[in-house]
Amino acid sequence: MNAPNQSGWKPTTPAAGEGKFGGPATTTGNKALMLEEPLIFEIADNQTTGVDLPEVDTSATTRLGGMARDADIGLPGLAEPEAIRHYTRLSRQNYGIDLGFFPLGSCTMKHNPRLNEKVARMPGFADVHPLQPVDTVRGALGVINELAHWLIKLTGMHGVAMSPKAGAHGELCGILCIRAALEARGDAREVVLVPESAHGTNPATAAFAGYRVEGIPANADGRVDLEALKARLGPDVAAVMITNPNTCGLFEPDMRAISDAVHAAGGFVYCDGANFNAIVGRVRPGDLGVDAMHINLHKTFSTPHGGGGPGSGPVVLSEALSPFGPLPYTARTKDGVVHLVEEEGADAFAKEHFGGPLSHFGRMTAFHGQMGMFTRALTYMLSHGADGLKQVAEDAVLNANYILRSMEDVLYAPYAPSGPCMHEALFGDKDFADGLSTMDLAKGMIDEGYHPMTMYFPLVVHGAMLVEPTETESKATIDQFITAFRSVVERAKAGDQTLATAPHYAPRSRMDETQAARKPLLAYTDPE
């Protein structure tokens, strides 16, 4: 084991018993830069506004057909300086990638380039309406088409549905394509096979699409058990949903054999592309026999996570599934013009350009997808290029393996003996002292200034900790993280009970989630 920290940096350990910031209580409850902030409903009123609008005599409005509002809405308003301060103060209670290392497994929290933000705000992209005459939006259609080209080339697939709004929406799109394709050949299959290690969205999606969900067994190396899968395949299996690299952070070495077996049994292969960052530019899922895969532009292609979206989940499709994709779609014809194909004229367009009508399963959303994310993702792809994206995958995998090998002597790493991981390293809580858990370790990492890893996922490893560093971290940052991670692990193994009450230095200590669920308070109520 090499010294985990080659930079000479050492963490400052707080003196025992120092507690919460030491010092005396303050009158305001504030602690210097850590400011308590009330709700807007507690500081604002219904007479204040932060915008200048004309006073209009509302009694003159006669066209509202008897529906004119008479009751107050109860919306609080703030003048601009107060509003800016409110949200700035709130922002400071958040951890973000800009602030520090955010190794949240399966979420790919990489740096969000600011050029992307600048481009998305160009008036030609930000200030165009989805239903403008197509001749006034050829550049926007061009962006969609160029991004589609990148996605098809990077995945080695045949087509792509651009409209899904996020990963789970993309999964749904892919599964609906599969169901439509099966129905088109009069093949009513009932079962979708999903590994236990899958993201929860996989079984939820398959169930929504009307399928019965059954598990796929894993082998001791954390991979799909190929023989067990083959034994289960049959005329009732519509599809298998496989995450590759899987949620244990491992590449499925039998992926091609799995696909061949599924195809031979008449089913389709859905690949969850959440972990595409590990292989982008290096491996094309199309070469592995995948029929459909969603791509989270907010993971692999750096569009911001935004505190929980918006995402974007285009779905690449094999030749067999492409005719079933949803409307609308874009297509570039031989004359170089990019067309928007909607319900109207879809058959005529397909007849002219593809030799016959297609069998679209329908429409996923009102308009054309997450344009604001398309511009960002395309900007990112053009910045990296094919060579840079390959380097992205390699550095992401290198960083994860470096963490795996720098931790395995102190922390249980169930799959480390079987070989390298991909873009994320998986650990378990096997050697923790009684009474201390993965949750406690995660909260201890908060005190050390890190966003914790993904906890308790995947479900197949007890007390799982999934660490995804991404490629946008320097070696120095990762070395510092390893030093801190090792120290918290040692504390968990030694039974340091201060972890059980961590975090000690965050804006809040541990939250009472039971009370939140038992007596849900989901909206502000005015005091009596």
DSSP lists the bridge partners of residue 237 as 191
Closer CB to another protein, residue 233 or residue 238? 238
Smallest separation (angstroms) from another protein to the CB of 523: 4
Q: Could you tell me the smallest distance in angstroms from the CB atom of residue 17 to another protein? A: 17
Q: Which two tokens stand for residue 157?
A: 């697939």
Q: What is the 3-state secondary structure (H, E, C) of 270-292?
A: EEEHHHHHHCCCCCCHHHHCCCE
Q: How far is residue 37's CA from residue 93's CA, in Å, rounded to a whole number? A: 10
* Cis previous bond, 164, omega within 30: no
Residue 12 binding another protein, by CB under 8 A: no
512 is a site residue for another protein (CB under 8 A): yes
Give the interface segment with another protein, choosing from 10-18, 262-270, 402-410, 424-432 (CB under 8 A): 402-410
> Cα separations (Å) of 525 from 36, 53, 287?
20, 28, 56
Nearest to 469 by CA among 169, 110, 145, 72: 110
Fill in the DSSP letter of residue 12: P
Q: Which is nearer to another protein, 11 or 19 (CB)?
A: 19
Three-state DSSP at 81 gives: helix
Q: At 93, is the secondary structure helix, strand, or coil?
A: coil
For position 507 contacting another protein by CB under 8 A, the verdict is yes
Per-residue binding letters, 210-239, with another protein (x by CB under 8 A) = x--x--------------------------
Q: Find all residues with CB under 8 Å of 52, minimum gap 6, and list them.
A: none
- CB 157 to another protein: min, Å: 12
Site stretch for another protein (CB under 8 A), options 160-168, 226-234, 426-434, 487-495: 160-168
How many CA within 13 A on the CB side of residue 267? 26
Rule CB under 8 A: say whether 408 interacts with another protein. no
Q: Give the shortest CB-504-to-another protein separation in angstroms.
A: 10
> Of 7-15, 69-77, 347-355, 488-496, which segment contacts another protein by CB under 8 A?
69-77
Q: 329 — phi, psi (to 5°)?
A: -140, 165
Cα 289 to Cα 510: distance, rounded to the nearest angstrom: 46
Within residues 308-347, the interface with another protein by CB under 8 A covers 308-312, 326, 343-345
Minimum CB distance to another protein smaller for 365 or for 437: 365
68 vs 494 by CB, closer to another protein: 68
Closest CA to 314 of 377, 257, 360, 357: 377
Judged by CB under 8 A, the chain residues 371 through 400 that form the site for another protein are 371-373, 375, 378-379, 382-392, 394-395, 397-399
Which of 61, 355, 527, 528 binds another protein (CB under 8 A)? It is: 61
Q: Which residue has the tokens 């169901």?
A: 179
Among residues 222, 227, 258, 264, the alpha carbon closest in space to that of 241 is found at: 258
Q: Do the beta carbons of residue 370 and residue 100 sit within 8 Å?
A: no
CB nearer another protein, residue 14 or residue 142: 142
What is the size of the binding site for another protein (CB under 8 A)?
216
* Whether the Cβ atoms of residue 497 and residue 490 lie closer than 8 Å to each other: no
What is the nearest approach in angstroms of another protein to the Cβ of residue 331? 17
Angle at 434 between CA 432 and CA 436, to 5 degrees: 60
Q: How far is the CB of 380 from another protein (least distance, A)?
A: 8
| Contact present, 428 and 465 (Cβ < 8 Å) | yes
What is residue 4's three-state secondary structure?
coil
How far apart are CB 190 and another protein at their closest, in Å? 13
* Binding residue for another protein, selected from 305, 339, 350, 463, defined by CB under 8 A: 305
Closer residue to another protein, CB minimum distance, 323 or 369? 369
Beta bridge partners of 443: none
Least spacing, CB of residue 469 vs another protein, in Å = 11
**Counting contacts by CB under 8 A, is residue 93 touching another protein?**
yes
Q: Per-residue contact track with another protein, 186 to 205, x per CB under 8 A?
A: -------------xxx-xxx
97 contributes a contact to another protein by CB under 8 A: yes
Please report, as residue ranges, which positions from 262 to 291 form the binding site for another protein (by CB under 8 A). Answer: 279, 281-284, 287-288
- Compute the least distance from the CB of residue 513 to another protein, in Å: 5
